A and B are shown apart, each in its own frame.
Chain A
Amino acid sequence: MSPFPADAPSDLPGPPWLRARRDAARERFRAADPPTEAQEVWRYSRIDELDLDAYSPLTPGTGDRLVDGAGLGSELPPALEAVAAAVGERAGLVVVHNGRVVRTELQPALAERGVLLGTLDDDPAGGEDLVGSVAAAPDFFVDLNTALMADVVTVRVPRGVAVERPVLVLHWVDAAGSAVFPRLVVKAGEASQVSVVDHVASPPELAAFVAPVAELDAGDAANIAYVGMQELGRKVWQVGYQTSRVGRDATLNSVLVALGGEYARVAADSRLDGLGATSRLRALYFGDGDQMHDFRTLQDHDAPKTTSDLLFKGAVEDHSRAVYSGLIRIRKGAAGTNAFQTNRNLVLGEGAHADSVPNLEIEENDVKCSHASAVGPIDEEQRYYLEARGLPPEAADRLIVLGFFEEILEDINVTGLRPPLRQAVASKLEKARLETAALRTSEPETAEAQPAPLGTGTA
């Protein structure tokens, strides 16, 4: 991977503190060795194929028309409109076009109660306490994001305020050949409550590179529900980072959904930072064609009596691949901790492959930990049971795969998102089925050219 970008603008915008952080991030980025698959955290990935120089960064400094929101008026692209419609009534909306915030809405009643939604410019405090507050540890792509991000979407909920309906953040990436760096910071004050749906999509044929960073900060006794949905086109590369800090008696419920992208990675870290903090981490991913989904997780217990419960479920069709690699770290002093990690993968295509690598690192005695992982095809017994009730195999498989994901869908608090996600899973299965059928109809020609060897026929 080549260094990127050699010609990055040096006059990055923002207040002095932000410019200082951007400069520092860019210096770290320039000094760092680019990631390679030889490194453990990039093992099984496709990072060696990434050529950052093939993309042009869209930053405010470039003055590119693509970042000023041109071309995206009050009408949302249909893909985004569908998400907004599924969510239904909402607390607020932010539309982000190629990394630049082009539209912000917030219920006036919430604004009156001090809820802030928008960019750093909209934040009276200037946002210095937001950016990088959770994503503190240096990371190659986080640094790149910090240096080159256009706008920071900020969601700030004051102490004691409950935002009942979801806040919707819709990203649309439609600049061909661009590198886009979405940034979201959610800061939930003490005993507050907020639900955020963070959705990213792009046109089907567009090639781009997206490196989003989401920072979630749940203050003491706060409750954050986060749904991160990725429905990018098949030529988009994504290297994303989601990081959360969960305070005393606070709760994070996170559900990640990955359906699109060519290679789409999310590293998701959750730091349980205060006594009694809880993280519930979920993911649903489904690849077909030549897609690859890649998840790296860290459940980082840094306080006593904390709980983390991770369940990631994936499926791979056709020639797609998936990787899950996760670590539970229980630091000294995090006594009385419960930590669970489960990863299950359905392998639906003969050319498909999934890797699952769970890990534990425990420095404390009084803890309850478990991890489990599974990679395998559809259960024959389940299929036989349904077939015995008269279901054709494709109908049985569809129900079994949908049923497999149902456990994750039920954890999406924004219930309106469940039906379209079921539909998305079903249409992926249908597409694969039609392609297999098309292959079968072309088989006789092959058979004629190469007669099957004797003894392999079945009656």
Chain B
Amino acid sequence: MSLLEISGLRAGIGEREILKGIDLTVSSGEVHAVMGPNGSGKSTLAHVLMGRPGYEVKAGSVSVDGQELLGLPTWRRAQAGLFLAMQYPVEVPGVSLQAALEESFAASGRQRSQVTELVRHEAERIGFRQQLLTRPLNVEFSGGEKKFNETLQLGVLRPRFAVLDEIDSGLDIDALRAVSRRIEAATSESDLGVLAITHYSRILHELRPDVVHVLSEGRIVASGGPELAQQLEQTGYAAYGVEQPAGRAEAQPLPENPFADPFA
């Protein structure tokens, strides 16, 4: 049994603090959802966990089974068992999925030669088109294909914890189901712990969370069971004291008779 522990995490870009103290613990086999509106710090959380250059950590700790990750470069965090499925996977021209995964295996002392078979197996399992496997990473992939590709890599690399940054965006309902089934299977087969970061509750119908957290302005303002996601769906974030950023508010209900004489 493994633990991903985030405590007192404060981080931002330059002087601007975006995460204002995050405490969260994920055990292996659990699915945690972090929900929040735009600008609440969801993507920042994902990238700070993975160590993306450009973010500054002010305080706190992130560890996997007691191993502190915050001082480590990104690739060491990956080798320590953390995986990030990116919201916008970048195109890497001329680099094949196979070559990238083989290098990753080699760096962690695993057999390069296993990669081909694992990739083939994973692609079959989630229904990823075999033709896409020979293309350079993410190059000319549709949004959905990119997310499948992230899921496939998750399956091959078998991390201990996966952070899913808006894995549902770009996926239609069938694709969302296939991706969710694969991740869910990993939680039981290889005891994967999941931190699913999402704006919408849509994915949580497929990837059933054990714990739901609401992120607002860099803080977790509520945590609860799956029922919390359902409540959110009905009430929106406003019920948790979250103000929608200007311009992104829900459409106002129409007046009863929009053609009524306003001067009547």
Cα of A390 to Cα of B86 in the assembled complex, Å: 14
- Tell me if B104 and A404 are in contact (CB < 8 A): no
> Is A400 close to B, CB under 8 A?
yes
- Tell me if B89 and A391 are in contact (CB < 8 A): no
- Tell me if A400 and B74 are in contact (CB < 8 A): no
- Tell me if A385 and B92 are in contact (CB < 8 A): yes
8 Å CB contacts to A: which residues of B85-117?
86, 89-95, 99-101, 103-104, 106-108
Which of A388, A396, A399, A404 is the one whose CB lies under 8 Å from B86? Answer: A388
Which of A384, A399, A407 is the one whose CB lies under 8 Å from B74? Answer: A384
> Is A387 close to B, CB under 8 A?
yes
> Is B84 close to A, CB under 8 A?
yes
> Is A402 close to B, CB under 8 A?
yes
Residues in chain A near residue B84, CB distance under 8 A: 388
With A385-B89, A386-B100 already in contact, the answer to whether A404 and B94 are too (CB < 8 A) is yes
A376 shortest CB reach to chain B, Å: 14
Query: What total of chain A residues lie within 8 Å of the partner, measured CB to CB?
Result: 25
Residues in chain A near residue B100, CB distance under 8 A: 386, 389, 391, 399
Cα of A384 to Cα of B103 in the assembled complex, Å: 14
- Tell me if A389 and B93 are in contact (CB < 8 A): no
Cα of A391 to Cα of B75 in the assembled complex, Å: 6
Which of A388, A392, A402 is the one whose CB lies under 8 Å from B95? Answer: A402
Cα of A388 to Cα of B89 in the assembled complex, Å: 11
- Tell me if B90 and A389 are in contact (CB < 8 A): no
A270 shortest CB reach to chain B, Å: 25
- Tell me if B73 and A387 are in contact (CB < 8 A): yes
Residues in chain B near residue A380, CB distance under 8 A: 53
A378 shortest CB reach to chain B, Å: 11
> Is B136 close to A, CB under 8 A?
yes
- Tell me if B86 and A385 are in contact (CB < 8 A): yes
Question: Which residue of chain B is the closest to A399 with respect to CB atoms?
Answer: B95
Cα of A237 to Cα of B74 in the assembled complex, Å: 43
Q: Which of A381, A390, A396, A407 has the most CB of B within 10 A?
A: A390
- Tell me if A384 and B94 are in contact (CB < 8 A): no
Residues in chain B near residue A107, CB distance under 8 A: none
Binary contact track B134-160/A, C-beta < 8 Å → 1, others 0: 001100000000000000010001000
Cα of A404 to Cα of B83 in the assembled complex, Å: 26
- Tell me if B101 and A389 are in contact (CB < 8 A): yes
B57 shortest CB reach to chain A, Å: 9
Which of A390, A403, A406 is the one whose CB lies under 8 Å from B78? Answer: A390
> Is B9 close to A, CB under 8 A?
no
A426 shortest CB reach to chain B, Å: 12
Question: Which residue of chain A is the closest to B79 with respect to CB atoms?
Answer: A390
Binary contact track B236-250/A, C-beta < 8 Å → 1, others 0: 000000000000000
Q: Which of B103, B136, B137 has the most CB of A within 10 A?
A: B103
Binary contact track B71-82/A, C-beta < 8 Å → 1, others 0: 101110011000
- Tell me if A388 and B78 are in contact (CB < 8 A): yes
Residues in chain A near residue B205, CB distance under 8 A: none
Binary contact track A127-140/B, C-beta < 8 Å → 1, others 0: 00000000000000
Cα of A42 to Cα of B125 in the assembled complex, Å: 59
With A382-B90, A406-B94, A407-B93 already in contact, the answer to whether A390 and B73 are too (CB < 8 A) is no
> Is A393 close to B, CB under 8 A?
yes
- Tell me if A391 and B107 are in contact (CB < 8 A): yes
Cα of A338 to Cα of B83 in the assembled complex, Å: 46
A226 shortest CB reach to chain B, Å: 23
Residues in chain B near residue A70, CB distance under 8 A: none
- Tell me if A399 and B99 are in contact (CB < 8 A): yes
- Tell me if A399 and B103 are in contact (CB < 8 A): yes
Residues in chain A near residue B95, CB distance under 8 A: 386, 399-400, 402-403, 406
Cα of A388 to Cα of B100 in the assembled complex, Å: 11
Q: Which of B73, B93, B101 has the most CB of A within 10 A?
A: B93
Cα of A395 to Cα of B99 in the assembled complex, Å: 10
> Is A285 close to B, CB under 8 A?
no
> Is B62 close to A, CB under 8 A?
no
- Tell me if A388 and B74 are in contact (CB < 8 A): yes
B97 shortest CB reach to chain A, Å: 10
Cα of A384 to Cα of B73 in the assembled complex, Å: 10
> Is A434 close to B, CB under 8 A?
no
- Tell me if A392 and B107 are in contact (CB < 8 A): yes
Cα of A396 to Cα of B73 in the assembled complex, Å: 13
- Tell me if A387 and B78 are in contact (CB < 8 A): yes
Cα of A380 to Cα of B74 in the assembled complex, Å: 12
Binary contact track A344-372/B, C-beta < 8 Å → 1, others 0: 00000000000000000000000000000
- Which residues of B are at the interface with A, using a C-beta cutoff of 8 A? 50, 52-53, 71, 73-75, 78-79, 83-84, 86, 89-95, 99-101, 103-104, 106-108, 136-137, 153, 157
A-B pairs, top 5 by smallest CB distance, nearest first, are: A403-B94, A406-B94, A390-B78, A390-B104, A403-B95
27 A/B residue pairs, CB under 8 Å, sorted by A? A381-B90, A382-B92, A384-B52, A384-B53, A385-B86, A386-B92, A386-B95, A387-B75, A387-B78, A388-B75, A388-B83, A390-B75, A390-B104, A390-B108, A390-B157, A391-B107, A393-B75, A395-B106, A399-B99, A399-B100, A400-B95, A403-B93, A404-B94, A406-B95, A406-B136, A407-B94, A459-B71
- Which residues of A are at the interface with B, using a C-beta cutoff of 8 A? 379-382, 384-393, 395-396, 399-400, 402-407, 459
- Beyond known contacts A384-B74, A399-B99, A406-B94: 8 more, CB 8 A cutoff: A387-B73, A388-B83, A388-B86, A389-B157, A390-B75, A392-B75, A399-B95, A403-B92
